[in-house]
Amino acid sequence: QVQVVESGGGLVQPGGSLRLSCAASGTIDNIYMMGWYRQPPGKQRELVASITRGGMSNYGDSVKGRFTISTSTDNGKNTVYLQMNSLKVEDTAVYYCYVRTFRMATYEYWGQGTQVTVSS
């Protein structure tokens, strides 16, 4: 089992920056991917960014060059960060962290979601 806790959302002006964090604890040895999805109001959930255990990252087209995903491991937790720069109004969404593990089968664990609002 993996517990996933997100933090860092909020209100920011266009052009500003925010950093989201997501800490995974529990059986973290089987984690092979962590990442972020988002769901804008009235729209479907979309991939923002993901990163593998080996450090390979992938980004949605709308955030390339503005967002950066990274990870750290400390005190029995794997934490994934999403640094969001040059934020736009259209980045407004609920951001969800996910963790994917594999041990005989693939499992996914999701955070509760954190609101990011970009508005002047």
pLDDT of residue 27: 85
Which of 89, 118, 108 is CA-nearest to residue 35? Answer: 108
Residues 58-111 have pLDDT tens digits of 999 999 999 999 999 888 889 999 999 999 999 999 999 999 999 888 999 999
Which of 30, 33, 9, 26 is CA-nearest to residue 96? Answer: 9
Q: What mean pLDDT comes out for the span 38-66? A: 96
